[in-house]
Chains A and B, each alone.
Chain A
Amino acid sequence: MDSLTWIAVTSIVMAGLTTGFGTMGPALAEGRAVATALSSLAQQPDASATITRTLFVGLAMIESTAIYCFVVSMILIFANPFWNAAVTAATQAAGK
């Protein structure tokens, strides 16, 4: 296989692996956070406003790690700099 194919294969496989492994940790962490928040809500229903607000902020922070992985995969698929460089190099070599 030539280098262009290798770049494509590596990018696609790594995009899947990045999102797959990158969402595992945040999924477990969000489950723990929601479970803890629910048990505290059951114990103290009066503090529901504070608990819910803190839960939302915390969930967004946890989720942002998964979002970073998703952004990296999207860049690998749709805006891959190595792929663009290889394509321009190949077209220059072909046009020479």
Chain B
Amino acid sequence: MRLTPDAWIFWQYGFFKLNATIVFTWALMTVLVLGAALITRRLSTGHQRSRWQNLLEIVVTAIVGQIKDVGLQQPLRYLSFLGTLFLFIAAAALATVIPGYEPPTASLSTTVALALCVLVAVPLFGIWGQGLVGYLKSYMQPTPIMLPFNLISEVSRTLALAVRLFGNMMSGAMIIAILLSITPFVFPILMTVLGLLTGMVQAYIFTILAAVYIAAATRTSKAANNPSSTSDT
């Protein structure tokens, strides 16, 4: 039994390995990019619009609304990064309905890469939002004694992001594989449905947490009605 799709190797030449994680990531990227390019080729602003354009507009509007709810005042500035994260993780989870597919997010290398993107993006948006000195000062909040703990929280929340997504996606695939050997027919289907729900929730959580971290770095979330902006797990 495979723990991750990393161990499923399609093609190998010397040092280069083409495992299932890379192949399925490329397939997802191709589908997402080509689909978006095909849909946005003929956009219309009138009342007559294609149903695919409606779908994309619903998705983009929902992501913008969620980013704004977290406390980021200019959602379009962060839409490209956070929307990409959400769409990739959600597509990776939704494509599990295809037989023979394994989600690339069930590999620790993919989730670590996504979490490292968040680790790099948070200081970049922070410096963009309030300048280099202002961002560096935010590490001294509320007192300079908190400096090492703020630095530790930067690393630990990246680790938590990566392991949370990996654990959830891997556990879904693993539980289905174990159940297939015990109760073959009906019960794995129910667990697949539950896995779809878990995957969507995890995509939402990953994006919202990244948005919360960015909001904490850019310090636009002064509104105190968002208690999740102070957490750092």
Q: Which residues of A line the B interface, CB within 8 A?
A: 49-50, 53-54, 56-58, 60-61, 63-64, 67-68, 70-71, 74-75, 78-79
Contact = CB atoms under 8 A, between A and B. Distances in A.
B201 A57 contact: no
B100 interface: no
Contacts of B164: 60, 63-64, 67
B110 interface: no
A63 B198 CA distance: 12
Contacts of A50: 69, 225-226
Interface in B114-143: none
B94 interface: no
A79 B205 contact: no
Contacts of B228: 54, 57-58
Interface string B16-60: 000000000000000000000000000000000000000000000
A60 B201 contact: yes
Nearest to B228: A57
Contacts of B1: 78
The 6 closest A-B pairs by CB, nearest first: A67-B167, A60-B205, A64-B164, A71-B167, A78-B3, A57-B228
The DSSP consensus for interface residues of chain A is helix
Contacts of A75: 3
A43 to B, nearest CB: 15
Contacts, number: 54
Nearest to B164: A64
A88 B69 CA distance: 54
Interface stretch (B80-88, B147-155, B168-176): B168-176
Interface of B: 1, 3, 66, 69, 160, 163-164, 166-168, 170-171, 174, 201-202, 204-205, 208-209, 212, 225-228, 231, 233
Contacts of B204: 56
A60 B163 contact: no
Contact of B171 (A53, A54, A56, A67): A67
B201 A61 contact: no
A64 B174 contact: no
A86 to B, nearest CB: 19
Given A49-B69, A57-B212, A64-B164, A74 B3 contact: yes
A64 B163 contact: yes
A22 to B, nearest CB: 12
Given A64-B160, A68-B163, A71-B163, A56 B168 contact: no
A74 B163 CA distance: 13
Contact of A57 (B166, B174, B209, B225): B209
A4 to B, nearest CB: 20
Contacts of B212: 57
Contact of B168 (A49, A57, A67, A79): A67
A74 B227 CA distance: 33
A60 B204 CA distance: 10
27 contacts: A50-B69, A50-B225, A50-B226, A53-B69, A53-B208, A54-B228, A56-B201, A56-B205, A56-B208, A57-B228, A60-B164, A60-B201, A60-B202, A61-B231, A64-B164, A64-B167, A64-B233, A67-B163, A67-B164, A67-B167, A67-B168, A68-B163, A70-B167, A74-B174, A75-B3, A78-B1, A79-B3
